Amino acid sequence: MTNLMETYKRLPVAFVSGAGAYLEDSEGNKYLDGLTGLAVCGLGHAHPNVTRALREQAGALLHTSNLYQIPLQEELAERLCRMSGMDAVFFCNSGAEANEAAIKLARLRGHHQKIKKPAVVVMDGSFHGRTMATLTATGSRKVQAGFEPLLSGFVRAPYNDIEAIELIGANNPDVVALMVEPVLGEGGIIIPDEGYLEGLRRICDEHNWLLILDEVQTGNGRTGALFAYQHTSMLPDVVTTAKGLGNGLPIGACLARGAAAQLFQPGNHATTFGGNPLVCAAAISVLKTLEDDELFERAAELGERITSGLRDQLRGNNTVTEVRNKGLMIAVELSNACPQLVLSALQKGLLLNVTQDNIVRLLPPLTLTDAEADELVSLTSQVINDG
Ligand SMILES: *Cc1c(COP(=O)(O)O)cnc(C)c1O
């Protein structure tokens, strides 16, 4: 019996502490964390830099209000903009909220252009959150079912299909923006073709649309750069992020560039908690650590090591159809449904996730040692090979 709403089918384990890539449960069992709370604890658990920043800030000041100046918020915004090429940031508490801010920016811009029913292009297979606007934007019927009426103002397109977007551009004068994940996360670590983001950038420029990248999961170093678009030479107009930004503290951000950075005016958008001193101190320590410890390069290197190890150890397993990755977003796709692997991994002391029924997903910490990466490869391969 529990007094919690039944929103989750939870696994039968409760963790009490963590250190680096490992978690410990209430019975003293250790687990290698190949999931980091869904791409949240990118620096691993109890990272000393984050712990120190939090201790210091917790003893000084937790919260004031966005009615006042918050120097740590400005410092974090300055650092994020320098590292991303963007101009201004709105801080909130989650990925869904960051996407809500982006959708509101797009609609506001549409109204400035006298478009009465501005629309945003969104992709099949995408995931943008669980609020009404973001679940409407999400390209999954499972997420939407039971919550109709959905919002108006979204146009759907297949992912990784430039021609489909060109067709929408030619036929939909109400479109004001396009929102897309650089790699589909919940959708199964789907990596688009080379040149996809540049193609979207070109179409957005042709039609004067905002290009909004949802980097809630791909951001904060996960793919081998602070943001996944930094593997290309293009810049988006708006980027949203959250998950890994606070290493476990709830913080989201909506970043914008150029005219989009000037759209919100006092009264347009707000949040009580967003960007308070505590979460900003955590996020500053995360960004500093990512840079100082050269973890972008390291994430790319670890991604190669793990995927090539998995390919080796899964060779000959003919249920494996593909092993793919973008940095430390790693997928092993199977030909059959495999939801049972989550529990069998847990019993072997490994945390992983299965998405889309048949895709084993790993989102390990960027701080893994080579030996830990190799342990992740051998445990994951065992779990998959044992079925
Ligand atoms: C997790 C996720 C979200 C939602 O983030 P929340 O913090 O759970 O609201 C949005 N977009 C993407 C790509 C995500 O992976």
pLDDT at 1: 73
- Report if residue 29 sits inside a domain: yes
Ligand 1 close to Cβ of residue 127 (< 6 A): yes
Claim to verify: residue 137 and residue 70 sit in the same structural domain: yes
243 Cα to the center of ligand 1, angstroms: 7
pLDDT tens digit sequence for 55-91:
999 999 999 999 999 999 999 999 999 999 999 999 9
Helix (H, G, I), strand (E, B) or coil at 124: coil
Task: Decide: 160 and 169 in contact? Cβ < 8 Å.
Answer: no
Order of strands, edge to edge, in the sheet holding 22-25?
A: 15-19, 22-25, 30-33, 350-351
Q: At 368, which CATH number? A: 3.90.1150.10
Helix (H, G, I), strand (E, B) or coil at 314: helix
What single DSSP character describes residue 257? -
What is the extent of the structural domain holding 378? 15-33+294-386
Claim to verify: residue 340 and residue 281 sit in the same structural domain: no
The backbone torsions φ and ψ at residue 113, rounded to the nearest 5 degrees and listed phi first, read -90, 10
Mean residue pLDDT of the chain comes to 98
- Domain limit, last residue, from 292, 310, 328: 292
> How far apart (Å, rounded) are the C-alpha atoms in residues 215 and 211?
12
268 Cα to the center of ligand 1, angstroms: 23
Claim to verify: residue 248 and residue 127 sit in the same structural domain: yes
- Report if residue 5 sits inside a domain: no
Ligand 1 close to Cβ of residue 94 (< 6 A): yes
- Cβ neighbours, 10 Å, residue 35: 22
Residue whose entry in the numeric block shows the structure tokens 């990925």: 95
pLDDT tens digit sequence for 300-332:
999 999 999 999 999 999 999 999 999 999 999
Catalytic residue among 90, 91, 154, 214: 214
242 Cα to the center of ligand 1, angstroms: 7
Burial letters 203-214, b for 16+ CB under 10 A, else e: bbeebebbbbbb
- Report if residue 44 sits inside a domain: no
Looking at this protein, which amino acid is placed at residue 206? E
CA-wise closest residue to 58 among 277, 275, 285: 277
State which residues of the chain have pLDDT below 50.
none
Ligand 1 close to Cβ of residue 216 (< 6 A): yes
Looking at this protein, which amino acid is placed at residue 64? T
Residues 6+ apart with CB under 8 A from 62: 276, 277, 278
